[in-house]
Amino acid sequence: MDIILFIVILAALILVHELGHFTAAKRAGVRVDEFGLGFPPRLWKKKIGETVYSLNAFPVGGFVKIFGENPDEESLKGKDSSRSLTSKNRGIQAWIMSAGIIFNLLFAWLLVSVGFMIGLPFSADDTKYGARVEDPIVMITQVLPGSPAEEVGLKGGDTIVALYGGADVLETPRVESTQKFIAGHKEFTLAYLRDKKIQTITVEPKEGIVDGRLAIGVSMDSVGTLTLPVHEALYAGVLTTASMTAGMAVGIVDFLKNIFIGQADFKDVAGPVGIVGIVSDASALGIAHLISLTAIISINLAIINLLPFPALDGGRLFFLLIEAIKRSPIKPEVANIANGIGFIVLILFMVFVTFHDVMKIIQG
């Protein structure tokens, strides 16, 4: 069931992405030869007008065959060359290449907005909407490596239920009261909720993690449910989507930088196998969490596609930028070879990440 749910989410996101390219190309008068969901071999096809619509065997991708996207003799000099992608000015080409990215971001905004309409997890400390957050709880958002919290097994996402230190008991924790309680005890018992089960551990705070007081090395946030009417949900969706996009972009850029300097940590990178588990966890928490996760994946898909790497939309946009600077087209054979090599590299990277996912499962 989890695998089916993952495939449905992936298919929806790819459909949205390719629909962006398809719509932009059609409106610009560029010939679209095929709109396919999944990768061949084909299971089903139907030609409507000049475009073949196909359903393919491997549901982990999708494609739109735009005439002239990979230039050849026919698209450059054939009888239908005027409807080739390369025959259009660079502004139209850039719009068609970026439309999939834009559609993914718009889809994420729609998902987040719908999430706010039905109720999304939200910080009670937010200056704009915090006062309207219902049933806030204290959630651990980050655990520092080597900290007392990590040593006792606390993880991001754990919910702090209560704290016990001798005669002191904190049964309705908030972020500030929890921090104060931790700072006032050299040892205490912490009750937390994980996977719908309450567990307890004993923690010994240390000095030096936070200046001037004892701490266990966690970041916390007061999180509850925020439900908004339609007009406010759409506005909050824009702000939240923009914030998530900026944060993820910085994270991806930092990760790529660390790859080049040999300091990349792949433990938090998930491929298809890892995402199936994440989807399972989100679905168990409810529809709002599943909607949020789908929006996050959609934003990630948009950002990754924007990277200036051959075979990605960003790589094709980068080629257009080079052509605009040099005021002449890049040789088709050069562009095609670069995109082919880029595609192979992406497949190898996906195989590596998938292998890493499997090893994490085997190692527990």
**Total number of domains in the chain:** 2
94 shares its domain with 165: no
Q: How do residues 224-250 score in pLDDT, each as one tens digit?
A: 999 999 999 999 999 999 999 999 999
pLDDT score of 269:
64
pLDDT score of 352:
73
81 shares its domain with 182: no
Length of the chain: 364
Q: Considering the chain, what percentage of its residues have pLDDT values greater than 70?
A: 88
In a domain? residue 155: yes
pLDDT score of 354:
67
pLDDT score of 273:
59
SS3 220: strand
**Token digits for 329?**
């087209």
The domain boundary residue, chosen from 182, 201, 225: 225
In a domain? residue 309: yes
Mean pLDDT over residues 62-71, rounded?
A: 84
CATH number where 140 lies: 2.30.42.10
Q: How do residues 8-58 score in pLDDT, each as one tens digit?
A: 888 888 889 999 999 999 999 999 999 988 878 899 999 999 999 998 887
In a domain? residue 173: yes
**Token digits for 308?**
């200036």
Please tell me the pTM assigned to this model.
0.82
11 shares its domain with 110: yes
Mean pLDDT over residues 254-277, rounded?
A: 69
SS3 23: helix
Q: Is 154 exposed, middle or buried (0-12, 13-18, 19+ CB in 10 A)?
A: buried
For the chain, the average pLDDT equals 86
55 shares its domain with 109: yes
> Cis omega (within 30 of 0) on the bond before 41?
yes
Mean pLDDT over residues 129-158, rounded?
A: 90
In a domain? residue 238: no
The domain boundary residue, chosen from 191, 225, 259: 225
Element (H, E) at 107: helix 90-118
22 shares its domain with 107: yes
186 shares its domain with 81: no
Could you tell me the pLDDT band of residue 187, with boundaries at 50, 70 and 90? very high
40 shares its domain with 134: no
In a domain? residue 267: no
Cα→Cα distances 133→86, 119, 192, 289, Å? 51, 10, 21, 16
Q: What is the DSSP letter of 331?
A: P
139 shares its domain with 92: no
Q: Concatenated DSSP letters for 225-250?
A: EE---HHHHHHHHHHHHHHHHHHHHH
Could you tell me the pLDDT band of residue 271, with boundaries at 50, 70 and 90? low
Judge contact between 129 and 226, C-beta under 8 A: yes
Judge contact between 173 and 189, C-beta under 8 A: no
Which of 73-87, 96-110, 298-312 is predicted with the least confidence, judged by mean pLDDT? 73-87
**Token digits for 128?**
């704009």
d(Cα 93, Cα 320) in Å, to the nearest integer? 8
203 shares its domain with 305: no
The answer on pLDDT for 279 being more than 90 is no
In a domain? residue 235: no
The domain boundary residue, chosen from 193, 209, 225: 225
The answer on pLDDT for 112 being more than 90 is yes
Give the strand pairing for 134-143 and 168-170.
unpaired
Mean pLDDT over residues 352-362, rounded?
A: 64
142 shares its domain with 112: no
Task: Find where tokens 């990590």 sit.
Answer: 150
109 shares its domain with 155: no
d(Cα 113, Cα 134) in Å, to the nearest integer? 18
Element (H, E) at 188: strand 188-194
d(Cα 347, Cα 350) in Å, to the nearest integer? 5
168 shares its domain with 99: no
In a domain? residue 359: yes
In a domain? residue 258: no
Domain range enclosing 161: 130-225
